[in-house]
């Protein structure tokens, strides 16, 4: 498979059905539905990814002083992030029915952004763990929530959801003790 990325051609607000799924997972610790947008963009190899809109303004309004100065300004500006873009490629029209695991995983990143001091924190953590550390998604259950990187956290939530979202699951305490409390 190629390394091509797909630029967005469609964008919409998260649907009520999608929001019902992720609210069932995260409780009331998500941003309002009108602040979560779905696009048909896709990352490398068609992978889904989620970004706060403050990252877009950082890139588009980058000063001539360079990339790192722009990132620093954007990082501080991410305290007041307005919305999130969940980019899901070909799953655009079928998240609630055919790809709820993608919806839950990517919305966990929205949750991470909303419940952190800086909305961009999870983006840098994700990029670092995927590109530098490797094995960003693999985890062993039982450790403290904050010891996991953002991709491991999203994988824990996704795995709990896809295994039937049972209250007897060994992953359930992460949902009740962290996710539903807004404890990023």
- The pLDDT tens digits for 25-75 are 999 999 999 999 999 999 988 999 999 886 555 444 444 444 444 445 444
Determine, yes or no, domain membership for 5.
no
Number of domains in the chain: 1
Determine, yes or no, domain membership for 6.
no
Beta strands at 36-39 and 49-52: parallel, antiparallel or unpaired: unpaired
Token couple for 179 = 């996710």
pLDDT digits (tens, 9 = 90+) for 70-107: 445 444 444 556 889 999 999 999 999 999 999 999 99
Determine, yes or no, domain membership for 113.
yes
Determine, yes or no, domain membership for 26.
yes
Q: Please, are residues 156 and 25 in contact by the beta-carbon 8 Å criterion?
A: no
Determine, yes or no, domain membership for 3.
no
Determine, yes or no, domain membership for 156.
yes
């Amino acid at each position: 498979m190629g390394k091509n990325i797909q630029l967005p051609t469609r964008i919409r607000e998260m649907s009520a059905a999608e929001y019902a799924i992720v609210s069932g997972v995260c409780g009331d610790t998500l941003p309002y539905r009108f602040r979560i947008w779905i696009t048909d963009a896709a990352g490398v190899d068609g992978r889904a990814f989620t970004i706060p809109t403050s990252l877009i303004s950082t890139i588009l309004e980058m000063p001539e002083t360079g990339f790192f100065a722009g990132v620093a300004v954007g990082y501080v500006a991410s305290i007041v992030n307005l919305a999130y873009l969940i980019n899901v490629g070909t799953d655009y029209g079928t998240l609630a029915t055919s790809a709820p695991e993608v919806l839950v995983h990517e919305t966990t990143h929205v949750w991470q952004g909303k419940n952190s001091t800086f909305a961009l924190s999870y983006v840098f953590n994700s990029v670092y763990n995927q590109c530098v550390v490797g094995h960003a998604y693999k985890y062993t259950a039982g450790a403290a929530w904050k010891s996991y990187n953002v991709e491991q956290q999203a994988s824990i939530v996704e795995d709990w959801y896809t295994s039937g979202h049972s209250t007897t699951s060994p992953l359930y305490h992460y949902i009740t003790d962290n996710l539903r409390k807004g404890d990023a």
